[in-house]
Chain A
């Protein structure tokens, strides 16, 4: 188990290093001069050079990269071009909102997808099945920047049940979470279905039924527990879609999380903040996958004994 964890950890570290490099290089892809964009056309050459030196942009690229890495290790991601506050602080402030949204969306996903997948598998080729899979097809095809406004239209404007945007009241999280969770629920319900279908044909299921156990116990206790195992890894991978979707969903609902901060920073050309947001979201994604892999290997010895991968 320890070998497995070290192996996975080393791989993850390499990936994180690559992610950091790309995020660092992003800023050098921008056409034009960031200093000029910040100061405007009218600034004097002396002012520009002073700012360039202050930001370290006059150093060679390799030196800048080393400085960036050093800063990262001290959790110092530079200062915002606009508010001049430390970027780390700014991002940290927005993190709880995103975590609440992502957590609620995940909850909604599971509540929708698991029962749908089970029903579709158990009542295979019935109306239930085609209904559940039809929902899945619709859910995959509806973009969240349209589902969000639709939900606002129906539940906020027409019915008046939930606020249009922001996160002041308790119910405010419901619509954003549904918007964010639906796409993932659509994908997940298909996975649960196919995983469940595989399990249903296993010998131990027949044994459980032959023992005279109640059908619900057979399916939930013997079936679901085995069917959910492979789903967990896939869920980890799919959480990336949830994190990226948060950027759009937060924009739709003016939900003050990291995603909205990313877009605000892009619009105000606040590059250090953009870098930090992308870095934070990507590294959380790498960590989530690392943890799901380890959890999976811990639950299922076949994985960790299967040679590391």
Chain B
């Protein structure tokens, strides 16, 4: 029940994002006679300051959000887990350097470094992905490092080492599978963070460029017409809010389930 509702909401948004490739949409069509027209029949979410259909732009924005979230979470999780796992397993001076680098990246609060990076690299969806992944890998690196440190002296790892398994085999076969649960939870919350971050960068004018639609940019455009056309701010905001809320609920639920499963496994071992 608590998994189905947020899962359903997310699935619906994902379908809407995919529908952009199928439906005959014209999200960039400027219709001057429709400027700032509030929701009505035929355009359920109304029109924006250029007379473009907000409902259609919302769908394109969903695609932007999901694409960026997919790439950023994928890249950062892959890169971070690789760096964290290898660093913790090998140890030594390499590990000390990695820890220091992680500490330095963590010293930049929140998305500040991403804002600076995106601002300096210039606008565009690729630069948003680069900027957010450059900041995002740190969390996964720290998490996987901590995981490996606590797992590497477990019996099955020692047994594998005694049997002469290579380092690569131990990392991929004996460590990674046990690290998956917390990494999946982290990645789930990561999706929520990236959706907000992408929209935030676009809100600041550092993300997706017009005429492409992004939820953050739509809110930014809407703030200029709040008195006459509040629907311009409300629609994209509600979209971000529902997606992020659904992801967070799902992440909480997932953590509960995986924690319980982990507790069971631990219980059996003892």
Contacts and interface: CB of A to CB of B under 8 A. Distances in A.
Nearest to B243: A141
Contacts of A274: 116, 119-120
A79 interface: no
B109 to A, nearest CB: 3
Interface string B199-235: 1100111100000000010011011001100100100
A137 B252 CA distance: 10
Contacts of A19: 104, 107-108
Contacts of B240: 143, 146
Contacts of B196: 143
A145 interface: yes
A142 B204 contact: no
A26 to B, nearest CB: 6
Contacts of B178: none
Nearest to A138: B245
A242 B111 CA distance: 11
Contacts of A18: 100-101, 103-104, 107
B110 A241 contact: yes
A149 B117 contact: no
Contacts of A92: none
Nearest to B112: A244
B113 interface: yes
Contacts of B204: 247-248, 251, 263
A41 B219 CA distance: 34
Q: Is the interface of B mostly helix, strand, loop or mixed?
A: helix
Contact of A31 (B121, B219, B236): B121
A14 interface: yes
Contacts of A88: none
Given A143-B196, A149-B222, A240 B109 contact: yes
Contacts of A263: 115, 119, 204-205
Interface string A246-269: 011001100000000011001100
A152 interface: yes
B116 A245 contact: no
Contacts of A214: none
B35 interface: no
A239 B112 CA distance: 13
B58 interface: no
B138 interface: no
B94 interface: no
Contacts of A5: none
Interface string B150-194: 000000000000000000000000000000000000000000100
A245 to B, nearest CB: 7
B241 interface: yes
Interface residues of B, number: 44
Interface in B114-157: 115-117, 119-122
Contacts of B230: 153
Given A138-B245, A146-B241, A266-B119, A22 B112 contact: no
Given A18-B103, A26-B117, A282-B107, A152 B245 contact: no
Contacts of B203: 145, 248, 251
Interface in A279-296: 281-282, 285-286
B38 to A, nearest CB: 14
B10 to A, nearest CB: 13
B248 interface: yes
Nearest to A144: B200
A137 B249 contact: yes
Given A15-B103, A266-B206, A267-B205, A281 B120 contact: no
A126 to B, nearest CB: 19
Contacts of A15: 100, 103-104, 107
A143 B233 CA distance: 13
Given A30-B120, A240-B109, A245-B110, A145 B115 contact: no
A15 B108 CA distance: 10
A150 interface: yes
A145 B199 contact: yes
Nearest to B233: A149
Nearest to B109: A240
A135 to B, nearest CB: 12
Interface string A57-76: 00000000000000000000
7 contacts: A15-B103, A30-B122, A142-B244, A145-B216, A146-B237, A149-B233, A285-B107
Given A18-B107, A19-B108, A248-B203, 18 more contacts: A14-B100, A18-B100, A22-B113, A26-B117, A141-B192, A143-B199, A143-B241, A145-B199, A146-B237, A149-B223, A149-B226, A240-B109, A244-B112, A247-B115, A263-B204, A266-B120, A274-B119, A286-B107
Interface of A: 11, 14-16, 18-19, 22-23, 26-27, 29-31, 137-138, 140-143, 145-146, 149-150, 152-153, 157, 239-245, 247-248, 251-252, 262-263, 266-267, 271, 274, 278, 281-282, 285-286
Query: 5 tightest A-B contacts by CB?
Result: A244-B110, A240-B109, A18-B104, A266-B119, A146-B237
